[in-house]
Amino acid sequence: MSGQRSAVSRQPGSLSSQSRSVGLLGGGLAGLALAALLAHRGHAVTVYERDRAGGKLRRVTVGEQSFDTGPSLFTLPGVWRAFLARLGEADPLDLRPLPGGLGVHHTPFGAVPLPVPADHPLHAAWEAYCAPARGLASHVETLLTTPPRLIDPVFRRASAALLRATGGHLTAEGWVRARQLPPALAHAVRTHALNAGLAPVDAPALYALLPALIAGDVSRPARGMGALLDTLLGLGAARGVRVLEGAEVVRVDPQTATLTLKGGEVRRHDLLVSALDPARLAVLTGRPARSPVSRRTVSGVALYAALPEPAPLPATSVLPPADFGPFRAAMRAGALLPDTLALVHANGPRLAVLLTAPATARDLQPDHPWVRAQVARALRTLGVPGLLASARDVVALPPAHYAAGGHPGGAIYGAALPVWRGGPLHPQPYHPAPQLWQVGTGVHPGGGLPAILGGAMIVDRLIGEGSL
């Protein structure tokens, strides 16, 4: 035991309650955002990342073209501005509106662009659908960045506004049915309940309002989504954050706030924060991590293709499954659905095709029959059936890629939470042990980048208060 103690190194920082040594596990976007916030408070923060920083957001080169993987859209920008305001920083991203907003949704009942333009037959129905959500975006941004405590009047006001908009409906499916929308618009709205990898019947009612909340303000940094990663790294570095890439943590002791690196080195901090999937954290702490396929969110296959010339497609095309019931059943059973959700992003000669797949860690490559069939279906629907055949190069990130990052089966959003625990109204397990906190999509799922950044702001505030 004496030899083990001599191997423990205490990281610099924290000699008082005002300044602490923080060990942060996982250098994804949530981890990097929280690291910058904690360092801004004066804490000495070390980020341990077993691969390279960025998590799902990274750059890959395909046929001499550069692609940003992971999040592809910037929505609810008030959350980003609130994050920067907490750091006292100006916005360096130069966000540019994305042509077409949320894209064209090719439903079984016809194509629907979101937002629906004024000259479209469904415009009046779209306006009626949006009515309950008018003025709601700022309240949702508040909920995404504010600890879920009913004693807080700010949280109560925002919650009341959301409950009025959802009309007492628990699920997205219940809300959509009550609105009696035209079939094509209803199908397009239901598609956005998949925002956290859940079918409409399993998703909170808020998710049915997402198109109304975000369709008119969808953007992307002028230098691509990778600019967000550069910005978070820069904000952390300016405040002394140390990001250790290739530093794999193999053991975590929440009671003593120590962690063991691959190779045997033991490090002690005053506080640990996990930005890992909770199931992976459970393994590191020696607890059982049961995660059957039926209790996971979805995984995906991301195909990045370098084309010889710009694709004749809109910026975003959405191809939902024909029926969400079989989609839900297939994902829960780990089966490959004949018509899954597909997203197609076109940006000049860069084409990205994103397919939703069950979280079974399959190594689904471009030549897999199911992948070929799904890509053919998507491109045929878009009127460019031979487009991918002309690609100079194609790179795929299959469910096995996401599973390698520690997500069970490659589940992009971790465990599938029951509907009553979804959305921003319900407490999350931010503080599972006295010296251990959690952040990230596995803890605060749904909502894309706003939820990632907002969750980091919530945990930063709670740590700063020293309470829940």
Going by pLDDT thresholds of 50, 70 and 90, the confidence category of residue 243 is: very high
Q: Residue 50 pLDDT more than 80?
A: yes
What's the whole-number mean pLDDT along residues 401-413?
A: 87
Does residue 302 sit in the same domain as residue 240?
Answer: no
Does residue 426 sit in the same domain as residue 332?
Answer: no
Does residue 421 sit in the same domain as residue 274?
Answer: yes
Does residue 18 sit in the same domain as residue 85?
Answer: yes
Residue 311 lies in a domain: yes
pTM for the full predicted model: 0.93
Residue 251 lies in a domain: yes
Q: Give the pair of three-digit tokens for residue 434.
A: 């006295």
Q: Residue 13 pLDDT more than 70?
A: no
Going by pLDDT thresholds of 50, 70 and 90, the confidence category of residue 232 is: very high
Q: CA 125: distance to chain centroid?
A: 30
Amino acid 443: pLDDT = 82
Q: What is the pLDDT of residues 298-342, one digit of tens each?
A: 999 999 999 999 999 999 999 999 999 999 999 999 999 999 999
Judge contact between 218 and 98, C-beta under 8 A. Answer: yes
The residue among 414, 437, 452 that closes a domain is 414
Residue 458 lies in a domain: yes
Q: Residue 14 pLDDT more than 80?
A: no
Beta strands in 36-128 (DSSP E): 44-49, 59-62, 65-68, 95-97, 103-107, 110-114
Does residue 333 sit in the same domain as residue 287?
Answer: no
Q: Lowest-confidence range among 96-105, 315-324, 404-413?
A: 404-413
Structural domain including 421 reads 2-92+224-291+415-465
Judge contact between 143 and 158, C-beta under 8 A. Answer: yes
What's the whole-number mean pLDDT along residues 442-465?
A: 89
Q: Lowest-confidence range among 32-36, 218-222, 300-304, 410-414?
A: 410-414
Rounded to 5°, the CA angle 360-252-282 comes to: 35
Angle between helices 448-465 and 137-145 (to 10 degrees): 50
Percentage above 90 pLDDT, the chain: 80
Going by pLDDT thresholds of 50, 70 and 90, the confidence category of residue 57 is: very high
Amino acid 264: pLDDT = 96
Look over the chain and give the mean of its residue pLDDT values, rounded to a whole number.
91
* Pairwise CA distance, residues 276 & 442, whole Å: 7
If one counts the domains in the chain, the total is 2
Residue 373 lies in a domain: yes
Residue 344 lies in a domain: yes
Q: Residue 4 pLDDT more than 70?
A: no
Residue 275 lies in a domain: yes
Does residue 285 sit in the same domain as residue 421?
Answer: yes
12: left (phi over 0), alpha (psi -120 to 50) or beta: beta
Amino acid 251: pLDDT = 97
Amino acid 441: pLDDT = 84
212/418: higher pLDDT: 212
Residue 438 lies in a domain: yes
Q: Residue 6 pLDDT more than 50?
A: no
The residue among 371, 392, 414 that closes a domain is 414
Does residue 41 sit in the same domain as residue 55?
Answer: yes
Judge contact between 99 and 314, C-beta under 8 A. Answer: yes
What's the whole-number mean pLDDT along residues 263-277?
A: 96
442/71: higher pLDDT: 71
Does residue 301 sit in the same domain as residue 408?
Answer: yes
What's the whole-number mean pLDDT along residues 164-173?
A: 94
What's the whole-number mean pLDDT along residues 93-98?
A: 94
Amino acid 11: pLDDT = 43
Amino acid 347: pLDDT = 93
Amino acid 444: pLDDT = 78
Contacting residues for 151 by C-beta, under 8 A, at least 6 apart: none
Q: Based on DSSP, count helices (H) and strands (E) in the chain, helices before strands.
A: 15, 20
CATH number for the domain harbouring residue 282: 3.50.50.60
Amino acid 16: pLDDT = 39
Does residue 391 sit in the same domain as residue 318?
Answer: yes
Contacting residues for 404 by C-beta, under 8 A, at least 6 apart: none
Residue 217 lies in a domain: no
What's the whole-number mean pLDDT along residues 231-249?
A: 98
Write the burial class of residue 309 (CB in 10 Å: 0-12 exposed, 13-18 middle, 19+ buried): exposed
What's the whole-number mean pLDDT along residues 389-396?
A: 94
Does residue 326 sit in the same domain as residue 439?
Answer: no
DSSP H helices, 343-447, are 369-381, 399-404
Q: What is the pLDDT of residues 66-82, one digit of tens each?
A: 999 988 889 999 999 99
* Pairwise CA distance, residues 404 & 396, whole Å: 14
Amino acid 427: pLDDT = 72
Does residue 237 sit in the same domain as residue 350?
Answer: no
> Do strands 103-107 and 95-97 pair parallel, antiparallel, or not at all (unpaired)?
unpaired
Amino acid 69: pLDDT = 93
Going by pLDDT thresholds of 50, 70 and 90, the confidence category of residue 428 is: confident
- Three-class secondary structure of residue 149 per DSSP: coil
Q: Residue 468 pLDDT more than 50?
A: no
Q: Lowest-confidence range among 105-109, 194-198, 242-246, 435-439?
A: 194-198
Going by pLDDT thresholds of 50, 70 and 90, the confidence category of residue 15 is: very low
Does residue 231 sit in the same domain as residue 85?
Answer: yes
Beta strands in 168-283 (DSSP E): 219-221, 242-245, 249-253, 258-261, 266-268, 271-274
